[in-house]
Amino acid sequence: MEHNSSNNFIKNIIKEDLEAGKHDKIVTRFPPEPNGYLHIGHAKSIVLNFGVADDFNGQTNLRFDDTNPLKEDVEYVNSIKEDVKWLGYEWDNLFFASDYFDTMYNKAVLLIKKGLAYVDDLNADEIREYRGTLTEPGKNSPYRDRTSEENLELFEKMRNGEFANGEKVLRAKIDMSSPNINLRDPVIYRISHTEHHNTGDKWCIYPMYAFAHPLEDAIEGVTHSLCTLEFEDQRPLYDWVIEKCEMESTPRQYEFGRLNLTNTVMSKRKLKQLVDEKFVDGWDDPRMPTISGLKRRGYTPEAIRAFCHEIGVSKAYGTVDSQMLEHFVREDLKLKAPRTMGIIKPLKVVITNYPEGETEWLDAEINPEVPEMGTRQIPFSREIYIEQEDFMENPPKKYFRLFPGNEVRLKHAYFIKCEEVIKDDEGNVIELRCTYDPETKSGTGFTGRKVKGTLHWVDATHAVPAEFRNYQPLILDEEAEEEEDKTFLERVNPNSLEIFNGFVEPNMKEVKAHDKFQFFRHGYYNVDPKLTTNEHLVFNQIVSLKSSFKI
């Protein structure tokens, strides 16, 4: 496995730090909050954190930032662990922020003793009002000048459950007129009478992210704390917490641009809403940009890592074309996936001059780009299926597929010629009668005449029924452009899933969940791990074969 990161400014910083002897060893962390499943944006952060640590023989912690019990759940803890492993990474340590609650509490007490934190009785709305704006300074809370003794006593009462949710908060005492709003006495502890997945009912006060996160990093000896750009303005607070709490280790925070993708929402809150409101069939629905959704769709860890390396890491905001992600899965599967033929919308063809009851087995390469993959055997007999769209009764010019009187090549088999069209009472084409020419067998070097069209097909007698699921983007960007204020739920594509019942080659009886194939003309498909049973095969379209995207 490639195990390295692309060149980026963070890697350069780390290199300089190591050369300057600032650290013996670098430590990074990936710090998800277990309030949802990981998405492709998290993959960027995972590849970065684990990648740079690997490059410099450092270590990476997987740390659950579980400081908000209302939204967190062990289901998410487990899925996150699984997804990180699936992406190909092993953490050096597994930590939970909640394991540090005692230390964090003691650090808050230290701040109170130093006169750097106070218990405030203002409610959330009042705190917002007092905070001021970007252009106006804030106002001091009337409770700001409580004595350390009083604050210690109140904070202990908060901890002991003597107050209701929201009745009091603990705030850092920094500067209500700071030009950086984050420094205007941020709340660092709040009351929440909520059971925690890890600490049970031990705590009814929980630290806020801005206070907890720097402490978590410092406790673990993280050297480079990598986060997304929205946290840039919080860096002074991050440094303040570490300094004032007298942490031994002093991690540095570095920010990079978060990943955004076209036709994709990338926030756990929104993704959860799609799940809860049943727009999709769970977090691992193949249309979801979650790691588990991408996995079920058929994306590979190799493709996702290659994509993350290619997009790189920078200080800029931007949106990446989701076709680029598709490009990397095509690249990865091109030489790995066996080729096969499948019919998505079948039309029956009877080859009238082929002997009844007879079957011959034809040789077909498994992947012409990788001859070592060998050949497979495909049956051919009197009845086959082709795609409905490969026949037209009255074709336009330059239509080289099947039409009355025309001859085409059947991939890996013979030339056939359309002699007769059978219709039902409503005039729908239900069957074609064709003849074949035994001289034209594939692989025998026939050069007698040429045909312009090559069709894929499956033998009707031996074909295995299969369900094909084709996908379109779940979220439509165009809608957003047309109507500025459409919510993302109004942009959900009602046609993001199309289901077809078709047929595949008989050797497909043996497939396992997550086997991947390139179906001739249709694209790459993954055997769906949830819907496939011994009796019913389901293929998820990973990507179509062609894209207009060039990198």
CB of 280 to ligand ATP, least distance (A): 16
Nearer to ligand ATP, 19 or 276 (CB): 276
75 is catalytic: no
Single out the residue of 14, 28, 32, 459 in contact with ligand ATP (rule: CB under 6 A): 32
Binding residues for ligand ATP, rule CB under 6 A, total 15
How does strand 342-343 pair with strand 497-504?
Answer: antiparallel
Nearer to ligand ATP, 31 or 473 (CB): 31
Nearer to ligand ATP, 267 or 353 (CB): 267
Closest CA to 278 of 500, 34, 287: 287
Regarding 77 and contact with ligand ATP (CB under 6 A), the answer is no
CB of 67 to ligand ATP, least distance (A): 11
Q: Give residue 390's identity as a one-letter amino acid code.
A: D
CB of 307 to ligand ATP, least distance (A): 12
The Cα 474–Cα 289 span in angstroms is: 9
Regarding 33 and contact with ligand ATP (CB under 6 A), the answer is yes
**Which of these segments, 31-39, 334-342, 484-492, 509-517, binds ligand ATP (CB under 6 A)?**
31-39
Backbone angles phi, psi at 349, to 5 degrees: -125, 125
Closest CA to 82 of 291, 298, 300: 291
**Which of these segments, 176-184, 258-266, 353-361, 380-388, binds ligand ATP (CB under 6 A)?**
258-266
User: Could you tell me the CA-to-CA distances from 81 to 168, 346, 378, 392 in Å, in that order?
Assistant: 35, 42, 42, 52
CB of 44 to ligand ATP, least distance (A): 4
Regarding 353 and contact with ligand ATP (CB under 6 A), the answer is no
How does strand 454-455 pair with strand 407-410?
Answer: parallel
x/- string (CB under 6 A) for ligand ATP, residues 192-211? --------------------
The single residue of 63, 146, 268, 339 carrying the catalytic annotation is 268
Single out the residue of 23, 258, 462, 530 in contact with ligand ATP (rule: CB under 6 A): 258
The Cα 218–Cα 247 span in angstroms is: 6
3-state SS, residue 137: coil
Nearer to ligand ATP, 188 or 212 (CB): 212
The Cα 471–Cα 474 span in angstroms is: 8
Regarding 319 and contact with ligand ATP (CB under 6 A), the answer is no
Single out the residue of 47, 227, 492, 543 in contact with ligand ATP (rule: CB under 6 A): 227
CB of 288 to ligand ATP, least distance (A): 12
E strand or H helix that includes residue 329: helix 322-334
- Neighbouring CB atoms inside 10 A of 533's CB total 8
The single residue of 33, 153, 310, 365 carrying the catalytic annotation is 33
**Which of these segments, 37-45, 104-112, 391-399, 468-476, binds ligand ATP (CB under 6 A)?**
37-45
**Which of these segments, 36-44, 216-224, 289-297, 481-489, binds ligand ATP (CB under 6 A)?**
36-44
The DSSP letter of residue 396 is P
Regarding 44 and contact with ligand ATP (CB under 6 A), the answer is yes
CB of 261 to ligand ATP, least distance (A): 9
Per the CB < 8 A criterion, the answer to whether 212 and 186 are in contact is no
Q: If 0-12 CB within 10 Å is exposed, 13-18 middle and 19+ buried, where does residue 494 land?
A: exposed
Per the CB < 8 A criterion, the answer to whether 211 and 104 are in contact is yes
Nearer to ligand ATP, 209 or 385 (CB): 209
Single out the residue of 122, 259, 306, 543 in contact with ligand ATP (rule: CB under 6 A): 259
CB of 34 to ligand ATP, least distance (A): 8
CB of 40 to ligand ATP, least distance (A): 8
Regarding 228 and contact with ligand ATP (CB under 6 A), the answer is yes
How does strand 346-351 pair with strand 429-437?
Answer: parallel
Nearer to ligand ATP, 44 or 235 (CB): 44
Regarding 42 and contact with ligand ATP (CB under 6 A), the answer is yes
3-state SS, residue 94: strand
Single out the residue of 31, 51, 69, 298 in contact with ligand ATP (rule: CB under 6 A): 31
CB of 91 to ligand ATP, least distance (A): 14
Nearer to ligand ATP, 100 or 503 (CB): 100
The footprint of ligand ATP on residues 430-459 (CB under 6 A) is: none
33 is catalytic: yes
The single residue of 81, 131, 144, 258 carrying the catalytic annotation is 258
The distance of Cα 213 from the centroid of its chain, to the nearest Å, equals 24
- Neighbouring CB atoms inside 10 A of 195's CB total 13
- Neighbouring CB atoms inside 10 A of 476's CB total 20
278 is catalytic: no
**Which of these segments, 39-47, 66-74, 123-131, 413-421, binds ligand ATP (CB under 6 A)?**
39-47
Single out the residue of 10, 11, 41, 492 in contact with ligand ATP (rule: CB under 6 A): 41
The string over 26-38, giving b where at least 16 C-beta atoms fall within 10 Å of a residue's C-beta and e elsewhere, is bbbbbbbbbbbbb
x/- string (CB under 6 A) for ligand ATP, residues 264-283? --xxxx--------------
Per the CB < 8 A criterion, the answer to whether 291 and 42 are in contact is yes
CB of 230 to ligand ATP, least distance (A): 8
The Cα 524–Cα 510 span in angstroms is: 18
User: Could you tell me the CA-to-CA distances from 320 to 277, 286, 317, 329, 482 in Å, in that order?
Assistant: 27, 20, 10, 15, 20
Output the 3-class SS for 213-267.
HHHHHHHHCCCEEEEEHHHHHHHHHHHHHHHHCCCCCCCEEEEECCCEECCCCCC
Please report, as ranges, the residues that interact with ligand ATP according to CB under 6 A.
31-33, 41-42, 44-45, 227-228, 258-259, 266-269
Catalytic residues: 33, 258, 268
